Chain A
Amino acid sequence: MNPRKRSGIRYISFRHILAPAIILMFVVSTGRAAPDSIGSIRDTTIEWPTIDEVLRVVLLRDYNTRVVVIGTMLLGLAAGVIGTFILLRKRSLMGDAVSHATLPGIGLAFIIMSRFGGSGKHLPGLLAGAMITGLIGMGLILLIRNTTRLKEDAALGIVLSVFFGFGVAILGIIQKMSTGHAAGLESFIYGKTASMLAADAQLIAYVALLILIVCTILYKEFTLLCFDQEFASSQGWPVVLLDITMMVLVVIVTVIGLQAVGLILVIALLIIPAAAARFWSYNLLTIVIASGIIGAFSGLAGAGSSALIPRLPTGAIIVVIAASVFIFSLVFGSARGLLVRIYQHLRLLKKVGHQNLLRAMFEWWENHDTSGQSRIHRQSDTKGAELANSVCDRDSDNIGNVEHSSRDIRWGELLALRSWAPRRLRRLIRIAIKEELISQLSLGSYRLTEVGKAEAKRIVRNHRLWEIYLITHADIAPSRVDRDADQIEHVLGRAMVDKLERILASTSPDLAMPSSPHPL
């Protein structure tokens, strides 16, 4: 009945479904492309695990698997938690730029460590390098944004591409170094938990715990920063310091996520769980927890499958799982999910139709009962009315002498009262009959029941109160208020009706049941 609303919901569903679909396609395609470029999967095909192997992983029997899976799970948890805050701070893409900025650090750390006699593959050393260039990248973004007139998006683009390019170049140099035995460094790009040692996983676990603790004790401060930075600053909170703390936590998550998810996809672990969690709640704490759980689940499942099928790129699997949760949340989310919204919309449509039917019948009855005789229908000269008249005539021919009191409205008359499609009207009548608001006396002849009349009276009253309000307080012409009120009356709550009554009490004498301010 309202075309704008209908197209609105189509628009919502289209946009919301398309976006994740593209993400999914992208994720799947990068996931597939990844092993190709690494070149490690070409020689062998994926070996599907035996049931015994599956059991070993699922039950976490193997110590190594246990540590890796738990480590990745904690990583997902930490990323989900801090991810919620940066999503709300609208800094998500900064996480992406920072993660790309870690690559040169890894390369440089490898070169330095192998020069000074180490193996070059000492994980804490590599991560420290990653951390340093990640922080430098972050600092550069802030510097570019604050001192030049370039906006943040430009700063992000510059830092992301330049650092990543620099990192790729360094990895290229390492390949050619005589001492360099760099195979495996690429796994930082796409992530590979198979190469993770128990000690590495332990490191991840500790750092993840640290992040959780910081987020817990700074929960209040981060919330204020994300919601209203200016107010926070006026209260004396060190906004810049808090911002830096938050971004450093992001860098840390990124760095410990390098091994598991890889630097290209670690951003997904920061954004997707938080974005998915928003579909489930309007409460920040709930969202933070839900996001943590979604992240943890993605990490767990991703690391688990990686343990089963060692050559799969873990990062891609984790992202695919997180994306699946996202799509599920998008559709089924209890707060903003698509189904909830469609349901609410349909319910409103039904309510509107239902109320329109009752009001139409009531006003018709009002007109006819007082006069005792059928006055003409609305003076509209639309086709519908003409058609209705002819139908009406036929009806009266057919029904002939069946007793027909002036209180009963016939199908044709009802159809002419509003511009509703016959099918829709028929369905509305059927529902109303089932709810015992209308009774059908004979074929095509209806009457409001007592209950129906009371309900209709309430609806008509709301409609008229609102019309009077619009005329007296909003200076809207009486000829137009009918339609305006039509859009609002259905959503009038008890509190608003009370308010209307209070406002109109002084001006309108017959509040109990005002007469219509315009010809019906």
Chain B
Amino acid sequence: MARTTSLIDPAPDIIADKGVTDQNDVPILVQDLTVAYHRKPVLWDIDFSIPEGKIIGIIGPNGAGKSTLLKAILDLIPKASGRILIYGKPYRQQRAKVGYVPQRESVDWDFPVNALDVVAMGQYGKIGWFKPVTRKHKTLAMESLERVGMADYANRQISQLSGGQQQRVFLARALVQDAQIYFMDEPFAGVDAATETAIVKLLQQFRSIGKTVVVIHHDLQTVKDYFDYLIMLNMRIVATGNTSEIFTPENLQKTYGGRLTLLDEAVQAIAREGDRRL
């Protein structure tokens, strides 16, 4: 597997410059990650690290493995190989530092809870086993709703909210987690312009207080405005680096243009082989 870009990923640099112990300062370090579904590889040899306090976009075509990469980092799916460190430690030890905003479509919005209940779920981890949600947690959840401009909707059943409002509820739930790194899976998908602006503002607020935000994004037009740093992905890393440097027609062509037919064929072959073995 040839690394197709001349812009090397900065992981080795950072480590080399500051010494190995400073891995603890790198929000996310991914080394040699491969992920497979039903023995069919979706991510190949992913190596990258991201800088702290930036808004980072992950872009790539459908099926490029963007969500898979997020889920692998969050330990939601098994890795075929490789390791991922969050501030120098495995995810399991760092959960409190990580907030997650799943895709809006991943849940049933007809569920009988209101907006405030959903936001309070962001604190369940802190509350711990068996203990109920108290007034203190509800107050915090309410503050979080206020920050995304949804305080008036706290008692609305979530099915009665618009798509953009639902997305904001999800954001508020991540907010209340009070994390260091946030992962968001397509927060801009299917939301109104007002919500999009609100989300961008929130991301910038995060950045201003030194938090790191990783966002899966689809709309190439807004990439330059929203993100400081980019991970361009198509089953393997095409390029990582500052948006101003790597968001070039050449890299876009590599990411989105012409499928890698040989790689595709290899994937199919492996999948077939896997089937036979099962």
Interface residues in chain A, defined as those with a beta carbon under 8 Å from any beta carbon in chain B: 88, 90, 147-149, 217-221, 223-224, 226-228, 230-237, 278, 281-284, 287, 495
Other-chain residue from B121, B129, B157 in contact with A231 (beta carbon distance below 8 A)? B121
Subset of 27 A-B contacts with CB under 8 Å: A88-B112, A147-B278, A148-B278, A149-B38, A219-B132, A220-B124, A221-B129, A224-B124, A226-B111, A227-B108, A227-B121, A228-B106, A228-B121, A230-B100, A230-B102, A231-B102, A233-B75, A234-B95, A234-B102, A235-B100, A237-B125, A282-B157, A283-B113, A284-B111, A284-B117, A287-B112, A495-B152
Question: Does B74 interact with chain A (Cβ within 8 Å)?
Answer: yes
How far apart sit A221 and B131, CA to CA, in the bound complex (Å)?
Answer: 10
Question: Does B223 interact with chain A (Cβ within 8 Å)?
Answer: no
How far apart sit A220 and B121, CA to CA, in the bound complex (Å)?
Answer: 9
Other-chain residue from B95, B106, B117, B157 in contact with A230 (beta carbon distance below 8 A)? B106
Which residues from A are CB-within-8-Å of B173?
231
The residue on A at minimum CB distance from B127 is: A220
3 smallest A-B Cβ distances: which pairs?
A235-B125, A282-B157, A234-B100
4 new A-B contacts at CB < 8 Å, known A224-B121, A226-B111: A220-B124, A235-B125, A282-B112, A284-B111
Chain B 69-110 interface 0/1 with A at a Cβ cutoff of 8 Å (1 = within)? 001001110000000000000001001001010100011100
Which residues from A are CB-within-8-Å of B133?
220
Which residues from B are CB-within-8-Å of A281?
112
How far apart sit A318 and B125, CA to CA, in the bound complex (Å)?
Answer: 40
A227 pairs with B118, CB closer than 8 A: yes
Question: Does B242 interact with chain A (Cβ within 8 Å)?
Answer: no
Which residues from B are CB-within-8-Å of A88?
108, 111-112
Interface residues in chain B, defined as those with a beta carbon under 8 Å from any beta carbon in chain A: 38, 71, 74-76, 92, 95, 98, 100, 102, 106-108, 111-114, 117-118, 121, 124-125, 127, 129-133, 152, 157, 173, 278
How far apart sit A230 and B71, CA to CA, in the bound complex (Å)?
Answer: 9
How many A-B contacts at CB < 8 Å in the complex?
77
Shortest beta-carbon distance, B212 to chain A, in Å? Answer: 16
How far apart sit A233 and B78, CA to CA, in the bound complex (Å)?
Answer: 13
How far apart sit A236 and B114, CA to CA, in the bound complex (Å)?
Answer: 23
Which residues from B are CB-within-8-Å of A224?
121, 124
How far apart sit A147 and B278, CA to CA, in the bound complex (Å)?
Answer: 9
Chain A interface SS verdict (over half): helix
The residue on B at minimum CB distance from A218 is: B130
Which residues from B are CB-within-8-Å of A147?
278
Which residues from B are CB-within-8-Å of A237?
124-125
Shortest beta-carbon distance, B259 to chain A, in Å? Answer: 24
A235 pairs with B132, CB closer than 8 A: no
Which residues from A are CB-within-8-Å of B106?
228, 230
How far apart sit A231 and B100, CA to CA, in the bound complex (Å)?
Answer: 7
How far apart sit A231 and B176, CA to CA, in the bound complex (Å)?
Answer: 14
Shortest beta-carbon distance, B185 to chain A, in Å? Answer: 9
B95 pairs with A227, CB closer than 8 A: no
A227 pairs with B100, CB closer than 8 A: no
B125 pairs with A220, CB closer than 8 A: no
Which residues from A are CB-within-8-Å of B129?
221
Shortest beta-carbon distance, A16 to chain B, in Å? Answer: 15
How far apart sit A519 and B102, CA to CA, in the bound complex (Å)?
Answer: 48
How far apart sit A226 and B107, CA to CA, in the bound complex (Å)?
Answer: 9
Shortest beta-carbon distance, A120 to chain B, in Å? Answer: 41
Shortest beta-carbon distance, A351 to chain B, in Å? Answer: 19
How far apart sit A95 and B111, CA to CA, in the bound complex (Å)?
Answer: 20
Other-chain residue from B38, B92, B107, B127 in contact with A227 (beta carbon distance below 8 A)? B107
Which residues from A are CB-within-8-Å of B111?
88, 226-227, 284
A230 pairs with B76, CB closer than 8 A: yes
Shortest beta-carbon distance, A348 to chain B, in Å? Answer: 15
Other-chain residue from B76, B117, B132 in contact with A234 (beta carbon distance below 8 A)? B76
Other-chain residue from A218, A223, A236, A278 in contact with B92 (beta carbon distance below 8 A)? A236
Most buried by B among A88, A147, A281, A287: A88
B112 pairs with A283, CB closer than 8 A: yes
How far apart sit A19 and B130, CA to CA, in the bound complex (Å)?
Answer: 38
How far apart sit A392 and B47, CA to CA, in the bound complex (Å)?
Answer: 82
How far apart sit A454 and B91, CA to CA, in the bound complex (Å)?
Answer: 63
Which residues from A are CB-within-8-Å of B108?
88, 90, 227
How far apart sit A234 and B96, CA to CA, in the bound complex (Å)?
Answer: 10
Which residues from A are CB-within-8-Å of B75?
233-234
Shortest beta-carbon distance, A308 to chain B, in Å? Answer: 37
How far apart sit A228 and B121, CA to CA, in the bound complex (Å)?
Answer: 10
Which residues from A are CB-within-8-Å of B130?
217-218, 220
The residue on B at minimum CB distance from A147 is: B278
Most buried by B among A224, A230, A287, A495: A230
How far apart sit A221 and B75, CA to CA, in the bound complex (Å)?
Answer: 19
B76 pairs with A233, CB closer than 8 A: yes
> Provided the pairs A218-B130, A220-B133, A233-B76 are in contact, do residues A227 and B125 lie with their beta carbons within 8 angstroms?
no
Which residues from B are CB-within-8-Å of A221?
124, 129
How far apart sit A278 and B113, CA to CA, in the bound complex (Å)?
Answer: 12
B132 pairs with A220, CB closer than 8 A: yes
> Provided the pairs A220-B124, A227-B113 are in contact, do residues A235 and B107 lie with their beta carbons within 8 angstroms?
no
Other-chain residue from A223, A236, A283, A284 in contact with B125 (beta carbon distance below 8 A)? A236
The residue on B at minimum CB distance from A503 is: B194
Most buried by A among B75, B107, B124, B173: B124
Shortest beta-carbon distance, A15 to chain B, in Å? Answer: 16
How far apart sit A281 and B114, CA to CA, in the bound complex (Å)?
Answer: 12
Shortest beta-carbon distance, B164 to chain A, in Å? Answer: 13
The residue on B at minimum CB distance from A230 is: B102
Shortest beta-carbon distance, A492 to chain B, in Å? Answer: 15
Most buried by B among A221, A233, A287: A233
Shortest beta-carbon distance, B151 to chain A, in Å? Answer: 12
The residue on A at minimum CB distance from B38 is: A149
